[in-house]
Structure formats: structure tokens, C-alpha cells
Chains A and B, each alone.
Chain A
Amino acid sequence: MTIQLQIPPRVAAGIGCDPGLRIDDAKSLREMRGSVAHQWPALAGRLWADDGGSRPQIRWFVNGIDSRYLHQMDTRLFDGDLVVVIPETLWDE
């Protein structure tokens, strides 16, 4: 089972990974943290709180749907699902 995790290019550049990641064996958004932390610990720290919950300025979309309207971080994931992470951003003029 493989999940596609899409993170913003700017975050990927800061971590040194690809913006499109393939995550194996994660049955929920919360479980995905372990797989990500194993390969990219700094990325896991940016995206998840220590307890596996979501950080306040980050939104998770599963197949285009806001995870808050699914089961939040306990949203079930299935093979081929696309998870997109959207942090709040600001352009400083």
C-alpha cells in the first residue's frame, strides 16, 4: 500500500526532499508520521505535533477534501490516496 504525500516545494527545499513523496504502510494521517519521521525527521517535525496531531497552521487534504471534514488525523488512508499538505503562508511586501 502506497500513499502519495504532496508537500509545498518550499518546504521540500528546506528539508532537502522531493515535494512528491511515496509513503508505504500508513493507514491514517497520524500513522503516516512514523514513516515520514523515519526518512525525514525534520519534515515530520514541521508537519505534525509531537502527539501526531496536526499543527494549527497546517491543513491536510485527502484526495482533495479537507481532512477536518473526514476524520481529521485519524482519516483512513487507502492505496493510491493523495495527501496534500497546505501550510498557511504570507508574502511579506
Chain B
Amino acid sequence: MSNHAVTPPSPTPRSGEGRHRYLRHLSLPDFSEATQAQLGQARVLIVGMGGLGCPCAQYLAAAGIGELILVDPDTVDQSNLQRQILYREADCGALKVTVAARTLGALNADLRLETHPCALDADNALALVEASDLVIDGSDNFPTRYLVNDACVLAGKPLIYGSVFRYEGQVSVLHYEGGPCYRCLYPEPPEPGSIPDCAAGGVLGVLPGFIGTAQATEAIKVLTGIGTALKGRLWMLDALSMATRVLSFDRNTDCPVCGDHPTIRTLSSPGRLCQNTAPQQEPHAMNVHEFKAARERGEPLFLLDVREAFEVAICSIPGTDRVIPLGQLADSLDQLDPEQDIVVYCRMGGRSQNAVNILLHHGFAKVRNLDGGVLAWAEHIDPSIHTY
């Protein structure tokens, strides 16, 4: 928890202003000054200040939450501006938590803000969660999602889960009043590469607004006790049809972290799965230096790109022999020679590992994954190519 900063509340007492500021809350049935005071006393941890964290934090700040603890190691990138509404063009390159704290502090001077420009990990997670009344999951990788869940279970804190992908989003309230946790739904993180569209999915810019705001709604309900929280229910939205669906799931008595005989009693940081794949080289893999050297020696390597067309339009590794998006690979095997030495790549190595598995399954013996994908190529071999 090093390098964190704390912004104190306004030195000027705001007695008298509060009632007017929150008049629309106080006009609600079942929402009293005591209810508003519950929000004012609450400490909320937000893990990830991206597409979900931004709208969620903004509405919680406006609603009068007492303190927000913001955790995110990233800086603002131009590609964030399509959906991460706390940031402006001039903020590109600045730490997200710093910019967010500035914007949120200007929105509500009574708000206390604590910023942590670091990733949540096994060393800091439990202390951060224990210091909070409730946690918002706006994470962008599976290890963090599972870590947040486990920390909330171990610390006994409710977790507001949200996820968006392309045109779809999900929200649930986890580990709340005996309800299920995330591992009750998905007990273990996926294997690297098993979620095929991880890095190439895209998202409709307004969709995180829907879902992050729904997370803020659930947070307010849990903190104040109003309404019925999404405990044991998964709320889903398809923005293309505006269809919503609520699915029920129960606490799993065999859950490895919240079940009757838990096997997870401490936190661990398993490392990022999807984005970076495994740090050690897999048997059917080669790194970009090895690939470059092999090509320079004239080895007849067939370079297969399994990314989507819009990604290929941004950048490619020179000499790519064929592009077959992962989703079409199983139906396009006749385009490949099983006797050929094939090297497969994608953006970061996750989807291409999945492609290697598919090809191995279909009898392609000489197939290897290019570790780190086109991003590793850009970082180590050719920094001039565009990345995304």
C-alpha cells in the first residue's frame, strides 16, 4: 500500500448545505436523513478506475458517500476516452487515480479520497478491503477479479461485481448476507487462452455507464439497506435489444473460498492470465527473438494471425502468411498444411495459445505460439509499428 495519497475533506463544515444538496434523496419514500448519513459514513473501495469504476465513482461521490478508495495502476490512454468519463484529452499519460480524485473532489468537497496508483495484489488486498465497508469490482483481468472476491470473503465484506463485453453487461451483489460469491458461479479462473475474445472484444462506450451506474445503485442499496439487493442474482443487459434478464444462483457449499469446507484461506496473486499468458515459455511456444532469428536463418515458418480484421488493420507482424480469426479457425483447417511449421500470434498471446491447442487437437504437430503476440514484437523487435 505504498505511494497512496489521501485527500482530506473540505476544511469548511458544510452544515446546512447538506440537506439542500441531498434534497432529492431526502424527498424519496424510505430515505431519511439517517439514510443519507449512512452514505456519508461509508468507505467504498473501487478496484479499477476504468469503464466501470468511472461512472460508479462519479455517482457515489454525487450521492454523498463519505470516502472513496481508488486503486488502479494505469495511466489515462486516448483509447480510454470513449467510455471512461472522468478523464479528458489533456489527462492522457496521467495516473487514473490522480485524475479521478481531482475530478471527484471537485464534484463533492465533502468526499474523502484515498488513491493507490498500484495494482491490487496479495500483499495489499486484504488490508484495503478490511478498511472498507463495501468493494466495487471494476477490474480488467481474471486474477484481480478472483483476488477481489477472495479478499472480500476473507474480510467479510460485500462485493458489487460488474462486467461488460461488447454490447452486454452483468451486475451482481456477492458475498452479502450469506449469499454466494464469484467462485460460487465460476470456482476457478479460466485457463490462459480459454476465453477466446479477451483482448479483441471491444465495448460500446455507453455500456460501462449502464453497468457502472447499476453497481453504484447496488452499493447504495447495500450501504443503506433500502430495496432488495442483487444477492444471489445475476442481472444482465443486452444493449442491442435492451433486453434484461435476471438469473438466480446460490451459495455453493463446495465453494473453495466461501463453502462449508474452504480450501482457500489466504490470498495469492496467480499472475495475469489472459493478457500476458504464462511468464514461462510453454512447450509449443517461441519468443519474438527466436522467431526473428529463425526467419533470418531462412527457416520456412508459416506465420498465422488469429486476430480480428479490425485489429489486423491497425498493425501486423511483417511477413504474416494468413489471417484466420480464432472463431473461424476450427472451420478453416483446410487452409493450413498440417506438415508446415506454423507460428501463431494474436495481440498478447492468449488467443493464439487457444489456436495452438485447437491445431494440436486436429493433428497439426509442428505448431507454436508466439509469446506476447504483436505487442511483444512491437516492444522488442519493431517499436515503429502501431499498437493498441
Interface of A toward B, CB cutoff 8 Å: 6, 8-10, 14-15, 42, 45, 56-57, 59, 61, 64-66, 68-69, 84, 86-93
Contact = CB atoms under 8 A, between A and B. Distances in A.
B164 A10 contact: no
* Overall SS of chain B's interface: loop
A68 B252 contact: yes
**Which 5 pairs from chain A and chain B are nearest by CB?**
A93-B140, A14-B327, A93-B50, A66-B249, A89-B165
Given A59-B185, A91-B203, A92-B140, A10 B190 contact: no
Interface in B151-173: 163-168, 170
Given A10-B197, A42-B331, A59-B186, A89 B163 contact: yes
Contacts, number: 92
A91 B170 CA distance: 11
B246 A64 contact: yes
Interface residues of B, number: 46
B234 A86 contact: yes
B216 interface: no
21 contacts: A56-B186, A56-B190, A57-B195, A59-B185, A61-B248, A64-B247, A84-B245, A86-B236, A86-B247, A88-B185, A88-B186, A89-B195, A90-B140, A90-B142, A90-B163, A90-B198, A90-B274, A91-B164, A91-B165, A91-B201, A93-B48
B247 A66 contact: yes
Contact of A10 (B141, B168, B236): B168
A64 B248 contact: yes
Contacts of B378: none
A9 B203 CA distance: 13
